[in-house]
Amino acid sequence: MQTRALGPFEVTAIGLGCMNLSHAYGKPPPPEQGERVLLAALDAGVTLFDTAALYGFGANETLVGKVMKPHRRQFTLASKGGMAGVPGDDGMLRRVIDGRPDTVRKNCEDSLRRLQTDVIDLYYLHRWDKQVPIEDSVGAMSDLVRAGKVRSIGLSEVSAATLRKAHAVHPISAVQTEYSLWTRNPEIAVLDACREIGAAFVAFSPVARGFLADALHDVSTLDAKDIRRSMPRFTPENYAANLKLLPGFKSLAQEAGCTPAQLAIAWLLHKAPHIIVIPGTTSVEHLQDDVGAASVKLDATLIARLDALINEKTVKGQRYSAQSASEVDTEEFASVA
């Protein structure tokens, strides 16, 4: 598989987002299934594995640590802090964004323990805590680099302005943000900002949370705890409108000689050489399909047709609810359908 630069590392252009194995899309698969997916990714040549303290409130890091420890020298390990599970008054864990330096350091120590490693190759601030100057959070992360606990640092879901402030404190190796045909926000500014400072752009949800993989036809079948239930694009009315885009998309995949998921990922890889893609899945079959996107070649005409078919003007609904949107720092288009 082709490789791309990620800070001081050279990683496969397609990595594995591990979140799905423990978090977000309803009841997670059994650990044994998660283990099969992780090892299948390794066998397929994937060299970037991405997790976070938040995913499963530590369960995902624990799984990755247990399964991947014997293979630690074979891949680049990324994790995230600054957003984790904190016990409430009832003892139940709740997601809390906290970018205070002491919390960032504690999150890292907890992650190192769960991941069963002495160092995290790429450590992200999962969300910018807007109550804390970005310079303070990144300063704490730079301390972790100097202490040898982290090799490089990144940011998730930030604007170009925040990225530049952070980069002035310590070199930022990567920005991770949702990017796909139906989520074009990075094209406003942060994608170019990454290129300018020499950072990689790591695209999560490249197949639009299953939409571009032609994997979800009826939103009423979603698990009660599936995060897509709170996303405007997945309301019955909006999703019905969005499904009308799929026949044309599938036709273009046929022309390209690939599957819909491969077309979505290949489109991203053709966009810019500093983009790395981290699809997530609970299926070995889907994993192998995703990785196959690395060999898909797209000509400029087909890319232009894709751009015209699915974009911020043709997709119905915003990507996040008002609450979730308030927690990120990404640029937004002036108006969203």
> Lowest-pLDDT range, 19-23, 34-38, 90-94?
90-94
Cβ neighbours of 69 (radius 10 Å): 11
Q: What angle (nearest 5°) sits at the alpha carbon of residue 23, between those of residues 107 and 273?
A: 80
Please give the pLDDT value at position 337: 44
Question: With bands split at pLDDT 50, 70 and 90, how would you rate the model's confidence at 336?
Answer: very low
**pTM, rounded to two decimals:** 0.97
Return mean pLDDT, the chain: 97
Residue 301 falls within a domain, yes or no? yes
Q: List active site positions.
A: 55
Residue 220 falls within a domain, yes or no? yes
Residue 332 falls within a domain, yes or no? no
Q: Give me the domain span that covers residue 103.
A: 3-326
Q: How many domains does the chain have?
A: 1
CA–CA gap between residue 103 and residue 127 (Å, rounded): 13
Please give the pLDDT value at position 30: 97
Please give the pLDDT value at position 335: 61
Residue 168 falls within a domain, yes or no? yes
Residue 203 falls within a domain, yes or no? yes
Question: What is the domain-level CATH number for residue 217?
Answer: 3.20.20.100
Question: With bands split at pLDDT 50, 70 and 90, how would you rate the model's confidence at 108?
Answer: very high
Dump pLDDT digits (tens) for 228-256: 999 999 999 999 999 999 999 999 999 99
Dump pLDDT digits (tens) for 34-46: 999 999 999 999 9
Sign of CA dihedral 321, 102, 141, 94: negative
Residue 331 falls within a domain, yes or no? no
Residue 209 falls within a domain, yes or no? yes
Residue 334 falls within a domain, yes or no? no
